[in-house]
Amino acid sequence: MNYDRILIRYGEISTKGRNRNKFVEKLRKSVRIALAPFPKIKVEASRDRMYVLLNGENGIEIIGKLQTIFGIQSFSPAIKVARDVESLKQAALQLIQNLYKDGQTFKVTTKRSDKTYELDTDGVNQTIGAHLLKNIPGIKVDVKNPDINLRVEVRKEAIYLSCETIHGAGGLPIGSSGKAMLMLSGGIDSPVAGFLAMKRGVEIEAVHFFSPPFTSERSKEKVIDLTKKLAEIYGSITLHIVPFTAIQQAIREQIPENYSMTTTRRMMLRITDEIRKNREGLAIITGESLGQVASQTIESMYAINEVTNTPVLRPLITMDKTDIIKIAQDIDTLEISNRPFEDCCTIFVPASPKTKPKREKVNHYESFNDFEPMIQKAVQEIETLVIKPDTEKQSEFNGLF
């Protein structure tokens, strides 16, 4: 018997109250985007469950796609059965016969959402179990550790049978938590920060600072490739490439060397905030981890944050570098991040950057140069790209989930 649908369980969405439908709709959109290459499928969503009707499409490929979608706790390939007992018994028998191998054990697990059904939970378990024992020679029951767990879900419209539960990506559907700008360098940390923000339902647009001729076209390609990896989760991501050369040169000329890193981060944050306003975002995401480098001390963050009232989200703030690298490996960005092409964050690095900069000092140094016209010029000259994943070489996130 071929499965005709996939039953999707919501997980965290199920804890939502009156606004649950908003989250369900966001998840449905994510599923439809991910399954766009399968034109025959149909997605049906209710308050408690979602179904992907296969209509002859490749179920194995669809399962691989569903495993990367945030908002799905688990899912099961399933068949839909009429609510009469004889149809239920025959469908269960046919399903188990297709899976059973000599010596295997089974159990029946029933979830009776519709309490009006003629059999109660024990009744369904006993009726199906007896029918299987009678018609499949050698099969035995093992309620603790069965080889086959036949799951029966009794609902008002039909009964659904499945034998496999596949873990999903968890989290919340992308877009359900609003939009934010991801400050995307070419390093290891920021793509991981973007991934984790997306897992919490944030729709991201990436912002990259490009400083030719000090940074090469290869460093730009590197960031585009990182964005492609993140785009595999949702179908596409907008990338804003900011011309940053003039501002970096002005900082180098005007700001004392040990404060140049602090001012550089402040200028980046101001520009990103301008992009956020133009794109109707609600927050800024960075790949900072507390104490990892000189600009990521709590004193540095305090001095840098002064330039904006916008929430700055730091998903990696308490993580060790080894933890971050592990996630980068899992989402297939580590190799790209390790390509030896410098970005603007790694050029002009002072020999002894200030680890505990003072707001009053950095404001004093910046007061001798009007950076605002340069910031506005950079914003006006941004190159905006819509990045889609490579269709010929899709990465597999399954190991992470």
* Mean pLDDT for the stretch of residues 141-159: 93
Q: Is the pLDDT of residue 396 over 70?
A: no
| 287 and 190 Cβ atoms separated by less than 8 Å | yes
Q: 279: which 2 tokens?
A: 């794109």
How many residues does the structure list for the chain? 401
Burial of residue 134 (CB within 10 Å: 0-12, 13-18, 19+) is exposed
Element (H or E) spanning 230, and its range?
Answer: helix 217-234
For the stretch 12-29, pLDDT in tens is 888 888 888 999 999 999
For the stretch 158-172, pLDDT in tens is 999 999 889 999 999
User: What gap in Å lies between CA 273 and CA 279, rounded to an integer?
Assistant: 10
Q: Is the pLDDT of residue 360 over 60?
A: yes
How large is the greatest C-alpha to C-alpha distance in the chain, in angstroms? 89
| 142 and 373 Cβ atoms separated by less than 8 Å | no
pLDDT band at 401 (very low <50, low <70, confident <90, very high): very low
Element (H or E) spanning 161, and its range?
Answer: strand 159-162
Q: Which of 222, 282, 272 is nearest to 244 (CA)?
A: 272
The pTM of this model reads 0.84
For the stretch 80-124, pLDDT in tens is 999 999 999 999 999 999 889 999 999 999 999 889 999 999 999
Distance set, CA 304 to CA 263, 359, 388 (Å)? 8, 8, 32
pLDDT band at 391 (very low <50, low <70, confident <90, very high): low
Q: 205: which 2 tokens?
A: 């647009």
* Mean pLDDT for the stretch of residues 51-78: 92
Q: 158: which 2 tokens?
A: 């039909």
Please, where are the H alpha helices in 35-178? 59-66, 85-99, 121-135
Q: pLDDT: is 395 or 86 the higher one?
A: 86
Torsion angle of the four alpha carbons 1, 113, 66, 319, in this order, in degrees rounded to the nearest 10: -140
Place of tokens 């495993």: 67
Q: Which of 4, 56, 8 is nearest to 30 (CA)?
A: 8
Residue 31, helix vs strand vs coil: helix
Other Cβ atoms closer than 10 A to 43:
16
- How do strand 159-162 and strand 74-81 relate by DSSP bridges? antiparallel
Element (H or E) spanning 193, and its range?
Answer: helix 189-199
Cis peptide before 243 (omega within 30 of 0): no
Residue 118, helix vs strand vs coil: coil
User: What gap in Å lies between CA 199 and CA 221, rounded to an integer?
Assistant: 25
* Mean pLDDT for the stretch of residues 366-390: 94
Q: Which of 227, 260, 262, 261 is nearest to 241 (CA)?
A: 227
Distance set, CA 209 to CA 216, 267, 338 (Å)? 12, 11, 18
